[in-house]
Amino acid sequence: MENKYMATAFILINTHVAKEEAVLEKLKELPEIVSVSLVYGIYDIIAKVKADSLDALKKGVTGNLRAITDIRSTMTMIAVDENE
């Protein structure tokens, strides 16, 4: 079975204080987001993102995530091999 998506990334997200759940709900609305979870530790949220290409991934992540004002910072990790 061929995978529809060509690019996958995991995004670690820091939010402004007490805004984790609000950001989580906004992320769930984005079409590129496959899964999103609140986490404990250095980051507040981890999101899995998929797109048809790296360029589409970049545009989706850059445009959509930067529009969420309660996101303080992100770290994006592009997956190089994924088994599903």
| Triad 17, 73, 78: Cα angle to 5° | 135
Q: Are the CB atoms for 5 and 54 separated by under 8 Å?
A: no
Selected from 1.10.10.10, 3.40.640.10, 3.30.70.920, 3.40.50.720, the CATH number assigned to the domain covering 7-78 reads: 3.30.70.920
Task: Enter the pTM of the model.
Answer: 0.87
Domain boundaries defined on the chain: 7-78
Which H/E stretch holds residue 57? Answer: helix 54-60
| Triad 44, 63, 2: Cα angle to 5° | 85
| Number of other residues whose CB lies within 10 A of the CB of residue 24 | 17
pLDDT digits (tens, 9 = 90+) for 41-77: 999 999 999 999 999 888 888 888 889 999 999 999 9
